[in-house]
Amino acid sequence: MIARVTKLRLSSLTDSSNDALGPDGWTGRIAVLIGIAPEGLAFTAVVAAAGLALYAVHYDALAFLLIIAAIAIGAFFRDPDRIAEAPDSAVISGADGKVTEVIEAELPGGSGERFYRVSVFMSPLDVHVNRAPVGGKVLAVTHTTGEFRAAFRDEASEHNERNLIVIEDTSGSRHAMMQVAGYLARRIVCHKRPGDALARGQRIGMIMFGSRVDHFVPLSYRVTVVPGARVRAGESVIANLREMF
């Protein structure tokens, strides 16, 4: 497998509550108006337009199916606003879905650093927009090509197509978040690059269709979720900084 640092596109908006996932320009603004991620605008529009065209020539049944499909596609790419109300010292989930694993593990890349790894599996029914678990600065973004095994399996973090984002928080601690493509997911989107400033809860990318996000939380934190818990990106607390006496 080949690892490389990707050249990534910045979003035109940087406010943590209003920043739109790229692309920049009118497509992004239209997507924000209808509440979906810009990556889904073309898919939704093409299917909806085909449905309307068939309706115009009286292929009503097929037109109805395509309109329903367009609604389903738009629902998959939905991008609701989220507000993190937890203390600034908390780590919040970067993905919607179900916690599948909480273990201690090394950060990928061979640095030898150990973290708590909190894995969240996103089914095709979950919101797939990913958000920053902490505020700070992006230190590195590394994309690794790979396979497309079922994302809920443990080996997916080592064998699947993935994108690792390393973040330094405002106190100088290192965190990381890894977007892992699954069996259905064939595209990972990340709009951040090294040196970018992040606000906690800010939109940073998405993974299309079923997939997984691994959070790497420093050992100085206490993980507050267990396998089976449901979490929401940008809102749910997954770890708190341990009190120091």
**What are the catalytic residues?**
211
Contact residues for 83 (Cβ-Cβ < 8 A; gap 6+): 17, 201, 234, 235
Q: Are 193 and 219 in contact (CB under 8 A)?
A: no
CA 112 to chain CA mean position, Å:
25
Nearest to 67 by CA among 96, 47, 82, 93: 47
Residue 164: phi and psi, rounded to 5, are -105, 125
CA–CA distance, 231 with 216 (Å, rounded to integer): 16
Contact residues for 219 (Cβ-Cβ < 8 A; gap 6+): 104, 114, 115, 116
Nearest to 178 by CA among 217, 147, 212: 212
